[in-house]
Amino acid sequence: MNRLVATLFAGMLATPVIAEADLEAGGKSFDRKCAICHQVINDEGEQLAGKRAQNGPNLYNVFNRPLGSVEGFRYSKLLQAANEQGIVMDEAGFAAYTANPTEWLEEVTGGDGRGNMQRVRLNEEEIANIYAFLVSLAPAEDG
């Protein structure tokens, strides 16, 4: 096998393994750090993650919809304001939100108040893995 082919082949083998490990780690971190308050249930009612905790809103599709949009959940005024402004959380927002929910919500909405989620201590890896894990449970975006 020449070197180029060997490199390509190694690359093909390596990539899926890394992606899988991240999602798996993300799922574990979700169970440890989020599932006490959150679950992920799709529109068909299938339990994709967590164990029916309802302190926090269902996180299905959460990074692809406006914040504060789970029907029937009693959000803080700050998350209601985020909803009215159609704010969608990206990975940087997710990192900032978990580090300090109230501060981040005040910053992005321009409002003041108190977010109802407490801080969650996450390192960079956990942030990336949990973010990827939740994205992986969301429906594929159709072009």
User: For residues 33 and 99, is the Cβ–Cβ distance under 8 A?
Assistant: no
Closer residue to ligand HEC (CB): 108 or 122: 122
Report the nearest approach of ligand HEC to the CB of residue 12 (Å). 32
Report the nearest approach of ligand HEC to the CB of residue 120 (Å). 4
User: For residues 136 and 25, is the Cβ–Cβ distance under 8 A?
Assistant: no
Q: Largest Cα–Cα distance in the chain? A: 64
**Can you give the binding site for ligand HEC, defined by CB under 6 A?**
33-34, 36-38, 55-57, 59, 62, 67-68, 70, 75-76, 78-79, 89, 98, 115-118, 120, 122, 130
Closer residue to ligand HEC (CB): 2 or 123: 123
Helix axes 101-109, 77-84, angle to 10 degrees: 40
Report the nearest approach of ligand HEC to the CB of residue 69 (Å). 6
Closer residue to ligand HEC (CB): 21 or 53: 53
Provide CB contacts within 8 A for 59, sequence distance 6+.
34, 38, 39, 40, 49, 134
Report the nearest approach of ligand HEC to the CB of residue 20 (Å). 20
Query: What single DSSP character describes residue 31?
Result: H
Q: Which residue is at the shortest CB distance from ligand HEC? A: 34
